[in-house]
Amino acid sequence: MIQAEPNISRSDMIRCVLCGSAPCGSVCGKLNPADLLRSIWFRNEQGAAGRLPEHNPCLTCPAPCERACVRAGEVPIRELINRLYYQVKPECETPLPADETRLQCDLCGIPLENPFLLSSSVVASSYDMLDRAFDAGWAGACFKTICTLDIHEASPRFSAVTGGDGSIIGFKNIEQLSDHSVAENMETFRRLKARHPRKFILASIMGQNEEEWAELARRCEENGADAVELNFSCPNMAEPGLGVDIGQVPELVERFTAAAKKACRIPVLAKLTPNVASMNPAAEAARRGGADGIAAINTIRSIVGINPHTYVSAPAVHGRSAVGGYSGAAVKPIALRFIAELAQNPALRGMHLSAMGGVETWQDALEFILLGGGSIQVTTAVMQYGYRIIDDLKEGLNLFLAEKGFGSVREAVGLGLDTLSPTAEVLERDTVVYPQFIRERCIGCGRCAISCMDGGHQAIRMDRNRHPVLSGRKCVGCHLCLLVCPQHAIRPRGKRAAVRAAQSSRPD
């Protein structure tokens, strides 16, 4: 059974660096520890357990994998595999599907092997890269934006906000568009289609006027593109009046969409900017211009990491910096909000939504699907971990669909929309859901009590044995304690009627 709370978490393998050609895999003759660890990292632990042989070879093994590790002795590989065997595998009620037919879907009527595409960026910028990505299992790619501009990039052009385990939480870039000529990119399309006829090529384009939008769309169709994506959202353009400057003006979105649509017969998607209060005006303008779908979100304008000695933000280019585009896991909640907004707009009904913004795991992708995403695009996770993440994206989602009884991923699209309201007035406010402490997991750290005391309603204290004790009279059921507990040792309990008078008498 797929668990909302994993049996094994990233913190259990925090010293693992997810090596390429990992030494741990080369010394094990029975398993591939590197693949199993990667699946744990990407929340596909049930898939990892399903791939294990019947008998556990680790029981009598001296663990040469741990000695071969680039951080020898620091990653408990044998323990993690044993936990897959004895904690995860017994809970697996659904065998791994024999094929990937459940993942088959479409983008504006054109078949996709699975919903996963590379998004327009450096990860989809050359023939050699996409040849490898398609062999790895990606259903297609949105090629890095094609233009007639003379592109010169800054160096360095990336920066990041990282977590305690070193993984990227938020990623900033100041990169622009493809620095290959239009002719070179057209040759790439032809070669890719010849080698991978079933893969989906989404051609991202950016013109400087209606004639250029039309000409680029026409040439992409003639050279094998399956659809065109109009880049109305890049926040990093050196020239004014392009990218995000278009996406913030619905009239321009409509005009340039119409120009591209008239020039080609293949589907046209408008890629919209999140640097607006609402995406609906631009999306409706794109529809008026003839767009068949919407792609969202692009990166969010950001400033990252001010150096306390030079006073320059990152990335610093010869002592200067600039506002850039923010992506990665940190933007996923914002991206989900925009996708839901588009999916719930009746004026956009029937349009394909190609969703992106912080997807790393199959569960991330599922959230976008449940809110209306018909296809999923990925960049930042690939930049950090490589094309190999497609294995766990496909396996995890396929297993979920099989366990839930879905015949196709299409059946899951939009299932989370009916319970979601854009405003809070619909929420029931007359009951309180208490937290419940799981004593066997609690280590007595007191984090719940500290957070409740200083950030909540002073409803938790620690007894003399370092056990948390709840005051039902004070608890308002905010669940801050659940979020801060490092052991996942608190869960929701039952409900009780709230006393509005008592609540209203408390100071803010």
Residues 456 and 463: beta-carbon distance below 8 Å: no
Q: How far apart are CA 375 and CA 262, in angstroms?
A: 24
Q: Spot the catalytic one: 16, 234, 452, 475.
A: 234
Residue 61 appears among annotated catalytic residues: no
One digit per residue, the tens of pLDDT, for the chain of length 508 reads 444 455 677 777 878 999 999 999 999 989 999 999 999 999 999 999 999 999 999 998 999 999 999 999 999 999 999 999 999 999 999 999 999 999 999 999 999 999 999 999 999 999 999 999 999 999 999 999 999 999 999 999 999 999 887 889 999 999 999 999 999 999 999 999 999 999 999 999 999 999 999 999 999 999 999 999 999 999 999 889 999 999 999 999 999 999 999 999 999 999 999 999 999 999 999 999 999 999 999 999 999 999 999 999 999 999 999 999 999 999 999 999 999 999 999 999 999 999 999 999 999 999 999 999 999 999 999 999 999 999 999 999 999 999 999 999 999 999 999 999 999 999 999 899 999 999 999 999 999 999 999 999 999 999 999 999 999 999 999 999 999 999 999 999 877 766 544 444 443 3
Q: Enter the CATH code of domain 431-505.
A: 3.30.70.20
Q: How far apart are CA 488 and CA 485, in angstroms?
A: 6
Q: How far apart are CA 252 and CA 245, in angstroms?
A: 9
Locate the domains of the chain by residue range.
Answer: 10-91, 101-412, 431-505
Q: Which CATH class is domain 101-412?
A: alpha beta
Which residues, other chains included, contact 215 with Cβ-Cβ below 8 Å and sequence gap of 6+? 207, 263
Residues 375 and 267: beta-carbon distance below 8 Å: no
DSSP codes of every residue in 180-233: S-HHHHHHHHHHHHHH-TTSEEEEEE--SSHHHHHHHHHHHHHTT-SEEEEE--
Which residues, other chains included, contact 313 with Cβ-Cβ below 8 Å and sequence gap of 6+? 159, 303, 304, 305, 306, 307, 321
Pick from 272, 396, 288: which is nearest to 348 by CA?
A: 288
Quickly count: other Cβ atoms within 10 Å of residue 487's Cβ. 14
Map residue 300 onto helix, strand or coil.
strand
Instruction: Please state the pTM of the whole predicted model.
Output: 0.94
CA distance from start to end of the chain: 42
